[in-house]
Amino acid sequence: MNNTIVRDFFKNAIEECKKSVICKIPYSKTNPIIEIQEEAFYDWESCEYVVIPPTVHKIAPNAFHWDKIKLIISETPLPKEYKGIVLPYSEYSQAILNMLQQMETVDRKIDIHSEDLNRRREEINNHINEILQAMAEKEQDLTGKEQDLQELVQKLNVVLEQSQGLSDTLLNQIEKETSDRIQTTLKVLDEHDQKVKDQIKTIEMTARQGTASMEEAYHQAQKGIEHLTDETIRRVTKTIQEKQREAKEIKQKLSDMLDQLSVREEELTEAVVDRAVDRVREENPYKNINIYINNVIQGTAHRKLVHKSFESVVKILGLHLHPLLVGPAGCGKNVMLEQASEALGLKFHYVNDVTEEHKVMGFVDANGKFQKTQFFQAFTEGGLMMIDEIDNSHPSALLAINAALGTGFNQYLAFPDGKLYPCHKDFYCAAAANTYGTGSDMIYCGRSALDGASLNRFVPIFIDYDRDLEEHLVRNTKILPLYWQVRSSIQKNKIRHVISTRNIVNADKMISSDNFSTGQIFDMTIIQSLTDDDLRIILNDIVKGPSDPVISSFINYLQTNKGISYKEYSENNYSQGRQKTYSSGYGYSPYSEDY
């Protein structure tokens, strides 16, 4: 029916229209609508706002569900049943209508996303429960394997005790046999000597009774006997020497056997420890676990010495998310990502401060050859891509890789050679920064503010200085209290200076080399660019701390060589001077009071 609103006017879209809170009657100059019939919109229970063009002159009393309508834009007289707000048909009223439509769209999106978020939250909770159950099972398995190891060690101790007993028995037997042989030889020698003496007595008796011829015979016999005696002594002496040499050789062989048993004992111990270490590494490759035998530590199972935040970084990468390591200079961010790539079995790729798009996307040179980049290789072949000093990069250059970091390995990316490349399933990306990408601060004043779309691709993880790691990195741990107290004073007073792990390691190397004086080490690893006022503040803080020989040496150096005394420090005056410095436009790092 022309010029009349009925349900058939909206035709096939009527069910979709009924879901809307806004009912807008079409406006047409060529075919205007002049009447709205009974119950035309009565069952549109979601309708809260109605727009009626000026061409409509008549509205039936039951055309709408009047008590549910909040606002009507119309110049047509309305039935007395309607008690709500009426606005004239104008551009202002149309703007209000548009705002209401946008609010409805936002509400729908919020409802949809709320359902998605609840579903995602439930999936994450289920996944966390599965991980916790798996960790409990692994812990139980490790306990059983530790018991097996203890049993193996006990068996090894029994074998070693048996070996020691066998060695003692063998040595005693050899010594007894050698002693018996010597005693037998000496006995034979005594018997032979006695026979010679008896023969001499017989000859003497014959000489006394005989004649001159007998005397001559005596002399000849005596010569024979002397020859016989010398030969016998020589033969017996040779026999004794041979037996002594044999005994010495036997003792040497026995000593060698004992040395071999000792070496074998050490080899068996090392083999047991190595096997235990390998087993522990297989089950828990990123923890330091001590191996004990007879309550004595024999080895430690670890891949490499790692930062306390290393496990969190690996877990984030394991979820195929992109961690952003935010922390002060020299706290170990680069080393941590290199160790993470090794732990995950990935090739490590690196780029720093992306100032231009071609540093990540590559370019086609004058010869028409596409020059590939580290990012291209990681994206197409797999690996961990590290973008170092991302907060020193140009925001527009980073936008080129936003598509690659959207949802992980189901992405495609077009490179300057004109081809579309799919993302490799083992592509991982991480970044390191000194700030959270919101711009410069008091210490890192050259940093840029990054685009929100780029920052949203990363999961920020704050990386602090790890004191336990620093204790393991240096030989001379006595220097640590000084550097830690100086660092704390710098952070507390927001002094524009950095005492990093790198400073401590450098100081330790200088001390080990014996090529630098104490003052030179203080100058090059602590004082550096600090002003006299900054040093007075630091000195005032560390003199209040615990007494320490290295700290006392530093205090004495400042007072004697630099002419700086904490007594000259005036907290009120100096704090006013620093307040002016902070109000000059610099911010300060969000982690300056925490690390």
> Which of 16-30, 113-127, 457-471 holds the top average pLDDT?
457-471
CB 59 within 8 A of CB 38: no
Q: What is the pLDDT of residues 367-409, one digit of tens each?
A: 989 999 999 999 999 999 998 888 877 777 777 777 777 655 5
Specify the range with the lowest mean pLDDT, choosing from 218-222, 292-296, 364-368: 292-296
Cα 444 to Cα 64, 399, 460: the distances in Å are 65, 23, 18
Structural contact between residues 248 and 164, judged by C-beta atoms closer than 8 angstroms: no
Q: Where are the beta strands (DSSP E) in 83-149?
A: 85-87
| pLDDT single digits (tens) 128-180 | 677 767 777 777 777 777 787 788 778 777 777 776 676 677 667 767 776 77
Average pLDDT over residues 21-41: 82
Task: Write out the two tokens for 299.
Answer: 């080895």
Q: Write phi, then psi, for 474 (nearest 5 degrees).
A: -110, 150
Residue 377 has a pLDDT of: 92
Per-residue pLDDT band for 273 (boundaries 50, 70, 90) equals low
In whole angstroms, give the CA distance from residue 122 to residue 133.
Answer: 17
Token couple for 116:
């998605």
pLDDT of residue 106: 65
Q: Give the pLDDT of residue 34.
A: 85
Higher-confidence residue of 52 and 139: namely: 52
- Residues 33/59, Cβ–Cβ less than 8 Å: no
Q: Which residue would you say has higher pLDDT here, 355 or 578?
A: 355
pLDDT in tens, 216-239: 765 776 666 666 667 777 887 888
Region of poorest pLDDT, from 65-69, 78-82, 153-157, 591-595? 591-595
- Given strand 383-388, what is the order of strands in its sheet? 348-352, 383-388, 427-433, 323-326, 459-462
Q: Is the pLDDT of residue 282 over 60?
A: no
Q: Is the pTM of this model over 0.85?
A: no
Q: For the residues 357-366, what does the mean pLDDT come to?
A: 88
Q: Report strand pairing: 22-24 vs 49-51.
A: parallel
Arithmetic mean of pLDDT, 306-326:
87
Q: Give the helix/strand (H/E) hosting 382.
A: none
- Separation in Å, CA 549 to CA 166, 352, 365, 480, 484: 55, 41, 61, 11, 14
pLDDT at 293 over 60: no
Q: Which region among 33-37, 228-232, 295-299, 302-306 has the lowest average model confidence (pLDDT)? A: 295-299
pLDDT band at 261 (very low <50, low <70, confident <90, very high): confident
CA-CA distance, 161 to 366, in Å (whole number)? Answer: 77
- The reported pLDDT for the residue numbered 451 is 66
Give the tens place of pLDDT for each residue, 200-215. Answer: 777 667 656 665 666 6
Q: Which residue has the higher pLDDT, 10 or 549?
A: 549
Q: What is the structure's pLDDT at 452?
A: 67
Q: From CA 298, how far away is CA 285, in angstroms rounded?
A: 18
d(CA 27, CA 33): 8
What does the DSSP assignment read for 389-417? TGGGS-HHHHGGGTTTTSSSTT-EEE-TT
Please enumerate, as own/partner, the contacts of 265-272 that have beta carbons within 8 Å and a separation of 24 or more: 265/160, 265/163, 268/156, 268/159, 268/160, 269/156, 269/293, 269/298, 272/149, 272/152, 272/153, 272/156
Going by C-alpha positions, the residue among 570, 586, 392, 563 that lies closest to residue 495 is 586
Return d(Cα 133, Cα 142) in angstroms, integer. 14
Q: Is the pLDDT of residue 316 over 60?
A: yes
Please give the mean pLDDT across all residues of the chain.
Answer: 76
What digits encode the pLDDT tens for the residues 547-560? Answer: 788 988 898 898 88
Rounded CA separation 411/434 (Å): 29
The whole-number average pLDDT for the span 323-347 is 88
pLDDT attached to residue 274 = 63
